[in-house]
Chain A
Amino acid sequence: MENNSSGYWQAVLGLLTKILIIWFLVSFGAGILFAPALNSISLGGYPLGFWFAHQGSIYIFIVLIFWYAKKMGDIDRQFDVHEE
């Protein structure tokens, strides 16, 4: 059990950075910037870049939020700042 508020905030910012990088890579990366390149790969009947823009990034967004909620719960308990 640790207790220092700057340590807590650093841990939170670390998690946010990680999630925002993935958020950026799937939507702006795979869905837009690299979409033309990814379209040469196909996922079933989907060109991959098109799939990321129309389907994939949405699924990954959902996973990201629940992952965030779970990880934040862990960090809260680790630094003993969770709600009673």
Chain B
Amino acid sequence: MDLQTITYLVVGASFALYIGIAIWARAGSTSEFYAAGGSVHPITNGMATAADWMSAASFISMAGLIANMGYGGGLFLMGWTGGYVLLAMLLAPYLRKFGKFTVPQFIGDRFYSKTASTVAVVCLLTASLTYIIGQMTGVGVAFSRFLGVSSDTGIYIGMGIVFLYAVFGGMKGITYTQVAQYIVLIAAYLVPAIFISLQLTGNPLPQLGLGSQISGTETSLLSKLDLVVKDLGFDQYTTSMPGSMLNMFMYTLSLMIGTAGLPHVIMRFFTVPTVKDARSSAGWALIFIALLYTTAPAVAAMAKLNLHATVNQAVGLETTASGNLVVNPEKVKANADLYATESSLQYEQRPEWMKRWEKTGLLKFEDKNGDGRIQYYNDKTKNADAKAKAEAAGWKGNELTVNADIMVMANPEIALLPNWVIALVAAGGLAAALSTAAGLLMAISSAVSHDLVKGVFNPNISDKNELLAGKISMAVAIVIAGWLGLNPPGFAAGTVALAFGIAASSLFPAIMMGIFSKKMNKEGAIAGMLAGLFVTLFYVFAHKGLFFIKGTEYLDLIGGANSFFGITPEAFGAVGAIFNFIVAFAVDKVTKEPPEHIQHMVESVRIPRGSKLVDGAH
């Protein structure tokens, strides 16, 4: 069977499974629709949370980013996992005890204010909508590469499928579908990683392979990689860092706080039966996430080494007659001259997978010195040694550009794995994008129907009509998300930073103070949220333009790029959060304490006894 047929079969079967589950788990009541009736086992919930959390970005882009950034890429690994420790200890159990469906509802009730809950709804919608654009674009890319349809058609198919299982199944359908999607995506990630780890190090576990010696040698994989990239003028892999240490620190902190404050993740913890389950469920979620997140750095380093070895014979891997990449221990030990003429791969002899990816434009070759060979190195290096060697060898500039996103997608092709594995990776990428999109839609729908329609405009709405409002707002959100996916506003990358920045600087501090500071009043909380949101937006817009409109950047006003202690806009969420806390406590000091019954409510939220099923009562 050819690749196309197998891909259709595998992807088709996985979709049939998701829709089947949605029909089986149809939601009857609002409680089932928003919180799966509060009946999901913590391990099941952990798995669903993992699928919810790991988006197209985690699955497709993260390993490529780490391959480019080296050690500094660890900020994604630590940031996107460390947030679960905060979530488990500071938010999840208390929000579960509070026993309502949504984050804005907690903020509105705790701070006895419709204004507070409306501010929270605005933050939630901005964070979720910006996040979902990336998912829809991801669905389009994955479909177009693997099913051979246009990217637009891919997005329409994706919209239809999410609509089916999100609208009919509600949270219950989404939860069980996400469990299936987790299994598909993790298998798709691990199978090629295990295979490549075996090829390079003989160790089947990528987590151990990354710290092992290259097969048949005494040279560790990481030290070989360091040697090769440094010689070619790149930064040393195991120490290179983006910007200053302070920036890496704040970037990591922003991702952690943002993770803990993202509403579609938080609301997963309303679906477990008890407070006790909410605590352990975060741990289970992290185990399932860690399976991918500890594999990703291995995929990154190994794919990087494979890529260098493919275009430079002196690295020490050889392509066999069948096109497979194998280690040649003698050559690895020899550390031959990377700049020797015959080391560079002849363009005509490039492997099949390079030809396939050239067609997509994500991999490009330009023969600058006209020798018919591929020279891949850092031509902007500050390393005088590498510069001199390149000049002496007659290299006229880097000739190969590789889009970071293809590292994971092309991985099974580089290692010449069977076609079913390539098809599985396609299904995995789609599962990652669809599961996250569904979770985000759920958060959007509940915020609109429950917090706005029921909470603000029409408190007497019947259960049945609220459910209908929820389904309609979900359908509208899908159409908007699809439209944004079809017409991506040229700032997709910037918006992800914004989503984390907003969650970190507005929602997380407000929820945390609501639980841990009994005396925090509504004036303090609202002022804090607005202040955190404002400084973060101010700093991000200074770099990227007002509402991301090109030409409206105002860097002069803040004194140049990254002017705040060299912190990049992506890393600014943590500063916004600190600002939020300071303003909230200052305002709280000069205004009057919250009423007695609110202080009692905080006390009751703090203890697990008396937890009941989640409900929607306002």
Chain A residues within 8 Å of B, Cβ to Cβ: 5, 8-9, 12, 16, 19-20, 23, 27-28, 31-33, 35-36, 39, 43-47, 49-51, 53-55, 57-59, 61-62, 64-66, 68-69, 72-73, 76, 81-84
- Structural contact, B607 and A5, CB atoms closer than 8 A: yes
- In the complex with contacts A57-B82, A58-B290, A81-B74 CB distance below 8 A: no
Complex: A55 Cα to B298 Cα, angstroms: 10
Q: Of A31, A45, A59, which is within 8 A of B290 by CB?
A: A59
- In the complex with contacts A5-B607, A23-B82, A51-B211, A83-B294 CB distance below 8 A: no
- Structural contact, A54 and B603, CB atoms closer than 8 A: no
Cβ–Cβ < 8 Å partners of B290 in chain A: 58-59, 61-62
Q: Of A19, A28, A65, A82, which is within 8 A of B608 by CB?
A: A82
Q: Of A53, A72, A76, A82, which is within 8 A of B78 by CB?
A: A53
- Structural contact, A44 and B211, CB atoms closer than 8 A: yes
- Structural contact, B280 and A69, CB atoms closer than 8 A: yes
7 A-B pairs with CB atoms under 8 Å apart are A8-B606, A50-B222, A50-B239, A65-B279, A68-B89, A69-B279, A83-B611
Q: Tell me the dominant secondary structure on chain B's binding face.
A: helix
- Structural contact, B77 and A62, CB atoms closer than 8 A: no
- Structural contact, B220 and A81, CB atoms closer than 8 A: no
- In the complex with contacts A36-B239, A39-B238, A53-B77, A73-B276 CB distance below 8 A: yes
Complex: A45 Cα to B297 Cα, angstroms: 14
- Structural contact, A65 and B88, CB atoms closer than 8 A: yes
- In the complex with contacts A51-B211, A64-B85, A83-B609, A58-B71 CB distance below 8 A: no
Q: Is B253 an interface residue (CB 8 A)?
A: yes
Cβ–Cβ < 8 Å partners of B211 in chain A: 43-46, 51, 55
* A80 CB → nearest B CB, Å: 8
- Structural contact, A5 and B603, CB atoms closer than 8 A: yes
* A38 CB → nearest B CB, Å: 11
Complex: A61 Cα to B287 Cα, angstroms: 9
Cβ–Cβ < 8 Å partners of B142 in chain A: none
* B511 CB → nearest A CB, Å: 15
Q: Is B293 an interface residue (CB 8 A)?
A: yes
The chain A residue sitting closest to B608, CB to CB, is: A83
- In the complex with contacts A12-B606, A64-B85, A83-B220 CB distance below 8 A: no
Q: Is B447 an interface residue (CB 8 A)?
A: no
Q: Is B248 an interface residue (CB 8 A)?
A: yes
Contact size class for B? 35 or more
A-B interface, 5 closest residue pairs, ranked by CB to CB distance from nearest: A45-B220, A53-B74, A65-B283, A44-B211, A69-B279
Q: Of A19, A28, A44, A45, which is within 8 A of B85 by CB?
A: A19
- Structural contact, A33 and B282, CB atoms closer than 8 A: no
- In the complex with contacts A31-B74, A55-B297, A58-B294, A66-B280 CB distance below 8 A: yes
* A22 CB → nearest B CB, Å: 9
Q: Is B286 an interface residue (CB 8 A)?
A: yes
Cβ–Cβ < 8 Å partners of A45 in chain B: 210-213, 220-223
Cβ–Cβ < 8 Å partners of B253 in chain A: 28
Complex: A55 Cα to B93 Cα, angstroms: 27
Q: A69-B283, A76-B276 are in contact. List 5 more A-B contacts (CB 8 A).
A: A20-B89, A28-B249, A45-B223, A53-B77, A57-B77
Cβ–Cβ < 8 Å partners of B212 in chain A: 44-45
The chain B residue sitting closest to A63, CB to CB, is: B283
Q: Of A8, A35, A65, which is within 8 A of B282 by CB?
A: A65
- Structural contact, B248 and A32, CB atoms closer than 8 A: yes
Q: Is B506 an interface residue (CB 8 A)?
A: no
The 8 A CB mask of B177-213 against A (1 = contact, 0 = none) is 0000000000000000000000000000001101111
Kindly name the residue among B286, B294, B610, B611 whose own CB sees the greatest number of chain A CB atoms within 10 A: B286
Complex: A64 Cα to B75 Cα, angstroms: 19
- Structural contact, B603 and A72, CB atoms closer than 8 A: no
- Structural contact, A62 and B286, CB atoms closer than 8 A: yes
- In the complex with contacts A31-B78, A45-B220, A62-B252 CB distance below 8 A: no
Complex: A83 Cα to B528 Cα, angstroms: 34
Q: Of A19, A33, A36, A61, which is within 8 A of B249 by CB?
A: A33
- Structural contact, A50 and B294, CB atoms closer than 8 A: no
* A65 CB → nearest B CB, Å: 4
- Structural contact, B608 and A76, CB atoms closer than 8 A: yes
* B596 CB → nearest A CB, Å: 16
Cβ–Cβ < 8 Å partners of B611 in chain A: 83
Q: Is B84 an interface residue (CB 8 A)?
A: yes
- Structural contact, A32 and B210, CB atoms closer than 8 A: no
